[in-house]
Structure 1
């Protein structure tokens, strides 16, 4: 009778029942899914039938009854109500009847809020209807059962650009530009490669240099996930050295953190990002300021062009590692960032394992100068270990090498008479007897 849109016959049939309310609260299997009478009426847009059913029983017992229904795409959705059936099919007049007369709750739906579901499925028409009728409010930062920034984040993470634009139009422009209540929408869009959303959010005034809860900027998230079209946009949008430094620092981090099992993959990621950065630097006319070649880095200089970088052989891991160290020193030294040092120490250990003692000495001597330049304490025990390894390998320690280290340690402005310092001094005295 509902399928045939015969409310008179349906009314007569229900009137003959002594258990009308019970019948209205039953969910049964049909071709449309596991549905109630009200859900079936909403499914087929039987407005008069819905009116009649609500006149018999307007309580939540009927209105909020849940079942399983096939959506407009033919997918079975569990845990849905009559209101969801109407909204999914765009029967907004009928949805208003259910909300106004039946007090249907819009925040019931497919395992989560119906409002969230229609954001996830890119149903701008449903959102505009609910907002336009005043059933939800998107004009303020705190809305209904969730928050404005959560909705914006959700739409941005899924790449629903039209919904992002709609929510931005409903937000407070001043708050959006200051970053209030927009949370991580821009970060989520970049992380998930939604280029149009990134452009829209940046145009709305969201700052791509803000960090998310993990301390990552939008550019870093895009680069980590290899979304280079978004990286390009952000480099052009920011148009500053800091963005290139951030990208190149990330590239270098892949190299200095490699282990044997992922060496090829990590070096390839470094190459990819650095090539991209060098090309973009040329196009935007943002050159590097590189240091002069020194012995610590085997007299190599940081590559300033894509041609220079491409001359490094694919399998030359050592040269790529040096490139990473050069990048890190250029960027981290002015910031007095102590994360500069661990890769330098690890590099020295690798050199010793390869019996390249003199090269390790040059690198760690330079590292010692960097510590002093940044006015940081260093326990100096690395040199004790190096000299011991040289002696064990039968390699002579020159007087000049030993005296230079001893002088720097003894007359260091940051020298403190700690147990470690005294232990280092005693070890150096013992080693001095072996120096020739």
Structure 2
């Protein structure tokens, strides 16, 4: 008899439940029993072994016989295949234990676990308890829990978010399963490791009011937060489950709950970035704020409010319900009230979402041509970002000033200098490239203010002083470019990537006026022969390559400031060698020949490879001078 015939006969015997009691004898007669037990039958689009077949058909005695003949029972019970579940869906990676549970053969399943050592944690996708919960197999859940085969709390999904059975049933709205799990000792406070999700949070997020009530009755805390600080109340609100929100509000009455209520109230009139076509619900906001006042009064939780500041039009947050009632029909004032409330609550938590509405309001103010209030609001926002240790940027201010210049709106010199001083804030010192480029844009804008507007001497001096202070810091980009490099570089113009059309309409580089301001009011600090890292270019090398109309004038300006026209870059080229048009070449040629004596001496030292560093150490003026005249090429 060939192997195929034997396999077919064994399949038939197992399928029928060994009604003739011949299975044991037939297995003993086989030369390699383990090979037979491992063999995978492909029948009716299913891939199964004999153990899985017996499990599907519910033959417990057959299961015991098969296990008794295996030399590696642990291996046998963990073999998987492809079967059709009881619901008709094809399931991959199904084990014999899964097959038994799927068909409801729990006596047989007990045999596989207790005799065969089958693992309840190896399901097709998840542990058996999780799969049973997802598929609402209450009978399987009972079997696993009643027999103590699983840990309700620690048995979790294999993949993120790694919910346990209570969380899954809470999220999916399986009330009966939730009630059963709670009865059997499921912990309502159990949290996922990564996101700190709880069953109550899952239920609230999906709007399962009956389960929220069930969990709260079981002692679930309404103040538990997930990894990003969201309580069940916030999760319910964010997902528009207002019936759950109302229940949780009525249930809790502490200060945390009141603050959450206030945040929710603000959300009815403050838009979220990226969410459009949502009309502000002022009535809803007013109702909730009034409710929060009553809760504060009942629990004696007074507010701690901030001092009036220009960013909020010197308005203060209402402290009583009577004060609030006076503004309830003033929509703009309600908006400011919402901003004040959010800052009081979110700033101590360093929550970055605090700032988005401020940026959005600033954009609205610009649409209304209310530029100064926008600048004050965004200046305040800048400090909020910095206080929360988040990255700051000044590009929005550059844009606002450009908008003002484009529409011929006068720029307050005091406010301008005040904004310019943000370039000295600690957060801007950590952001080398953006910071120095935005500072340069401010210098260019300053040149236009000085040219177009009538300023007092004091106002002019304040701008000059800021430029001097900026140059004193001698900032460089990551590739070693100074303010002077950037002011004469075509690439600076091309690098403008925020509100590009509006800013490029006003700012242009190379800029003669910007260069003039830097060299005039920062002359003490500007190194006209400073070189960049990538090519060893001085500012003169860079402007020599420009074809812009102001380039020759800028070349003269830099040379008049003391720049050396014979400095060599890493490619052994002088600015004259880099020049692209005859006018610039002619300007440079006057300064290239005859060479200054000290330049000739520096070249001689380099060419003769004299060890000058013993006399003039690195960092000294003479060392740097010699370096510029040839050593850089080495």
Distance 2:115 2:409 in 1: 93
Q: Does 1:46 align with 2:59?
A: yes
Distance 2:108 2:134 in 1: 23
For the 8 Å contact 1:33–1:69, the answer to whether it is kept is yes
Q: Does 1:330 align with 2:341?
A: yes
Q: 1:245: which partner in 2? A: 262
Q: 1:7: which partner in 2? A: 19
Task: Give the Å deviation of 1:26.
Answer: 1.3
Structure with more relative contact order (C-alpha pairs < 8 Å, separation 6 or more): 1
- Pairing partner for 1:56 from 62, 65, 69: 69
Q: 1:155: which partner in 2? A: 169
Task: Give the Å deviation of 1:120.
Answer: 2.0
> So what's the TM-score if we normalise by structure 2?
0.49
For the 8 Å contact 1:98–1:104, the answer to whether it is kept is yes
For the 8 Å contact 1:177–1:204, the answer to whether it is kept is no
Q: 1:87: which partner in 2? A: 101
Residues 253-402 of structure 1 aligned to structure 2 (within 5 Å): 253-255=270-272, 257-258=273-274, 263-264=276-277, 267-268=278-279, 270-271=280-281, 276=284, 286=294, 323-333=334-344, 343-344=357-358, 347-348=361-362, 350-354=364-368, 356=369, 359-361=370-372, 393-394=407-408
| Deviation string, structure 1 residues 188-218 (Cα, Å, up to 9, x no partner) | 2222333333222222222223221122222
Distance 2:201 2:124 in 1: 27
State the SS of the aligned residue for 1:97.
helix
Q: Does 1:133 align with 2:147?
A: yes
Distance 1:434 1:8 in 2: 111
Task: Give the Å deviation of 1:226.
Answer: 2.3
State the SS of the aligned residue for 2:271.
helix
Measured on the aligned residues, the alpha-carbon RMSD in Å equals: 5.3
Going from structure 1 to structure 2, the CA distance change for 1:236 and 1:275 (only over 3 Å counts) comes to: farther
Distance 2:202 2:36 in 1: 47
State the SS of the aligned residue for 2:20.
helix
For the 8 Å contact 1:325–1:344, the answer to whether it is kept is no
Going from structure 1 to structure 2, the CA distance change for 1:26 and 1:278 (only over 3 Å counts) comes to: farther
Distance 2:64 2:334 in 1: 74
Q: Does 1:121 align with 2:163?
A: no
Distance 2:37 2:337 in 1: 75
For the 8 Å contact 2:269–2:285, the answer to whether it is kept is no
Task: Give the Å deviation of 1:282.
Answer: 7.5
Distance 1:346 1:145 in 2: 40
Tell which structure's C-alpha radius of gyration is larger.
Answer: 2
Moved more, 63-72 or 181-190: 181-190
Distance 1:360 1:111 in 2: 58
Task: Give the Å deviation of 1:38.
Answer: 1.7
Distance 1:384 1:9 in 2: 90
- Pairing partner for 2:238 from 213, 224, 231: 224
Task: Give the Å deviation of 1:79.
Answer: 1.0
Q: 2:479: which partner in 1? A: none
Unaligned runs of 5+ in 1: 313-318, 410-414
Going from structure 1 to structure 2, the CA distance change for 1:241 and 1:145 (only over 3 Å counts) comes to: closer
Task: Give the Å deviation of 1:382.
Answer: 9.8
For the 8 Å contact 1:252–1:325, the answer to whether it is kept is no
State the SS of the aligned residue for 1:8.
coil
